Amino acid sequence: MNRQILNLAIPNIIANISVPLLGAIDTALVGHMEGIHHLGAIAIGSAIFSFIYMGLGFLSMGTTGMTAQAYGADDNREILLVFVRSIVVALIMAMLLVVFQGAIAWGSFPLFQSSPEVERYAKEYFFIRIWAAPATLMLLAIQGWFLGLQNARYPMFLSIVVNIINIGANLLFVFGFDMKSDGVAWGTVVAQYGGCGLGWWLFYSWQKRHPAPLHWPQVWDWEPLRRFFSINSDLFIRTISLMAVLSFFTIASSWGGDAILAANSILMQLWLMISFGMDGFADAAQSLVGRYFGARDAVNLRRCIRHILAWGLGLGSLFGVLYLVAGESILGLFTNKTDIIALAMQYMAWIIFGSVLNCFAFLWDGIYVGATAAKPMRNCMILCSFGIFFPAYWLTYPILENHGLWLAMFLFMIMRGASLMWLAPKHIYVLEPS
């Protein structure tokens, strides 16, 4: 069981790490351009797309759970049908993004307080990169589908290849064609379509080895289609609730002044580092839990969950010890401003304890996705967002100030894990051991 978990978790961790690496290279590339407006343009444009694609992350999560269950049931026909439905939905969503790109820009750019020059280049970046939407969303579906097939190597390979193409294309457009932030946008478009093409090739390679007839009327069968949209709509609402918390955290940090904003931003990077590892094990949980659900294998389902939770707790404890021992040195990697480091250290305890206790929120999310138990995920996230985080913030911030903000985030994460664990007997442990 441990080998199966690590075979899935490690490639996912590598794929997760490759994403911020690309962002760092893009930032370094535009950061050396004349003037700072291109850097601001990339920051604003990337923030808009991050918000959009995070909201549409159900294309990956929902596809993984349903594919894994079909895989566990050894149903190649349903595996293929899940793929087709996911691709169709991805293309419909992409078409809506392209058609309504003007409305998205109109509603997004006023949220950022930037100079006219930065806004001009940010809009240029946005209106170029939006054409990558079909490839980006299909890639989400393809990677989620392969993960459901217990294959984490292909998603890792796709992520690495996309990032390599992106870096090469950015260098070509910026240095070869003397472009600026628009060159970075075109580099992203080229990389996404290159990765999507590779994803389709991998899909066709799989289909040759596992032939199954595709009857298009079955794609539109009402009951599986209803289940598909029900699961994904619940995951979408769950993600929007999560995004509300994360966005408000940044906004509330800015209310504390530039120093608090800077300190909280760096501390959130440490939080993000933890998520790389936890998401790797959560993705492994999606694959394995879905597989055992589909196979109706209660014994291995329970073994898998125990091992996943043990690995996550161990990794979280490792991060906690690392931050306890070397927290100040790690903060120094992000900034050389001693006053910001000293300020961030005042709140480091939240990160240390959170490293250990927050792991359950990430891991149970993956378990529920594998079981396609999206409705309780949605309900728990809504409860923890609007019943825990926001009330905790408004009640404690006037007394504790920035500690109140971190307390609200800490309680939010703890209650996410606790509520999902409490509901597990009803939604996860529903198979009877044979």
In 3D, which of 145, 130, 143 has the Cα closest to residue 82?
A: 145
Mean pLDDT of the region 66-72? 91
Angle between helix 116-129 and 181-209 (nearest 10): 20
- Same domain for 72 and 213: yes
Quote the CA–CA distance of 402 and 343 in Å, as a whole number: 11
Quote the CA–CA distance of 164 and 168 in Å, as a whole number: 6
pLDDT value at 31 more than 80 = no
Percent of the chain past pLDDT 90, that is, above it, reads 42
What local confidence, expressed as pLDDT, does residue 386 receive? 96
Question: Where is mean pLDDT largest: 114-118, 247-251, 290-294, 429-433?
Answer: 290-294
What local confidence, expressed as pLDDT, does residue 26 receive? 62
Least trusted range by pLDDT, from 35-39, 332-336, 415-419, 426-430: 35-39
Mean pLDDT of the region 122-143? 92
- Same domain for 97 and 66: yes
Q: What is the pLDDT of residues 153-207, one digit of tens each?
A: 999 899 889 988 988 998 898 888 877 778 888 998 999 999 999 999 999 998 8
- Same domain for 213 and 273: no
What is this structure's pTM? 0.84
Quote the CA–CA distance of 282 and 253 in Å, as a whole number: 28
What local confidence, expressed as pLDDT, does residue 288 receive? 92
Domain that holds residue 359: 230-434
Among the candidates 162, 197, 220, a domain finishes at 220
In the chain, the number of structural domains is 2
Quote the CA–CA distance of 284 and 21 in Å, as a whole number: 22
- Same domain for 237 and 118: no
Q: What is the pLDDT of residues 342-392, one digit of tens each?
A: 998 999 999 999 988 889 999 999 999 999 899 999 999 999 999 999 999
Residue 225: inside a domain: no
What local confidence, expressed as pLDDT, does residue 267 receive? 86
Q: Is 213 exposed, middle or buried (0-12, 13-18, 19+ CB in 10 A)?
A: exposed
**SS3 assignment for 35-64:** CCHHHHHHHHHHHHHHHHHHHCCHHHHHHH
Q: Residue 25 has which token pair? A: 């290279």
In 3D, which of 310, 424, 318 has the Cα closest to residue 377?
A: 424
